Structure 1
Amino acid sequence: MSTVKKYENPFNGFPKLLDDFFGHELSDWRNNNFSETSTTIPSANIKETADNYQVELAAPGLEKSDFDIKLEDCRLIISSLKKQENETKEDKYTRREFSYQSFQRSFTLPRDIVDVENIKAQYENGLLTIDIPKKEEAKKKAPKLIEIG
């Protein structure tokens, strides 16, 4: 009886190594901006300045009234639901089409740093901007020069 040696490709682990290194973007052609239901999730930019944090969400085609922004404990939750119904009536039939577009994004805010009472939001030209001010004690102060006596 002869033994058969199974051929193993020495490069089998290489794609996994690349995936782990680059965060699953190379071999996974699905974009992270798609949810499990294949609907898009708006991309977010988060900026920090000395005075505040700013969250920008790219959400073109929506109206201000389509958004729901709320704060639960330290979580900022941004969601949207847009329904659209089209109906066509002809002689012997009616055709209705429904379209639902929704998403939800949440961000955990640092409790000791953020002034939750003064958070402001604005939607203009497809961009939702949320300004989250920092508390006075959390703002970076300019360095203090100490004179030598």
Structure 2
Amino acid sequence: MWHASGYLGLFASAFGAATLLPLQSEALLVALLLAGQHAAPALLLVATLGNVAGSALNWVLGRYLEHWRDKRWFPVSAERLAKVQGTYHRYGRWSLLLSWAPLIGDPLTVVAGLMREPFWSFLLIVAFAKAARYGVLYAMTLGWA
């Protein structure tokens, strides 16, 4: 049976988890997969789309973040910002393959926007990384791995 609320909840959870908010979506994906009331491939797609959309929001925020770097409330010191930019410059866009990783993935997507990573390359790399992470979780939950 198809339950829209499960898909919408998963999308919202995955979206929020990809932002800098302290959320996670993996437990909900596993619970929905185990409940068996939703199409498993659709759950994988919804989780991936939500997570990529949240990362895209991070990219947009990063893209415009520097406009406020001289404000007192700016969350990062000029030295820290320069260090983060140098690290991203050293490893480049391929560091976005770690966008799925806890603690570093979400800030990395903000930095990609800050460094003006072209949106389409950002989107392709992040979508691959997020889909791979959810795919592994999907396979493990359904006993394929």
The structure with more helix, counted as a fraction of residues:
2
Higher strand fraction: Structure 1 or Structure 2? 1
The higher relative CO (CA closer than 8 Å, separation ≥ 6) is in 2
Structure 1-normalised TM-score?
0.23
Give the TM-score, by structure 2 length.
0.23
Q: Which has the larger radius of gyration?
A: 1
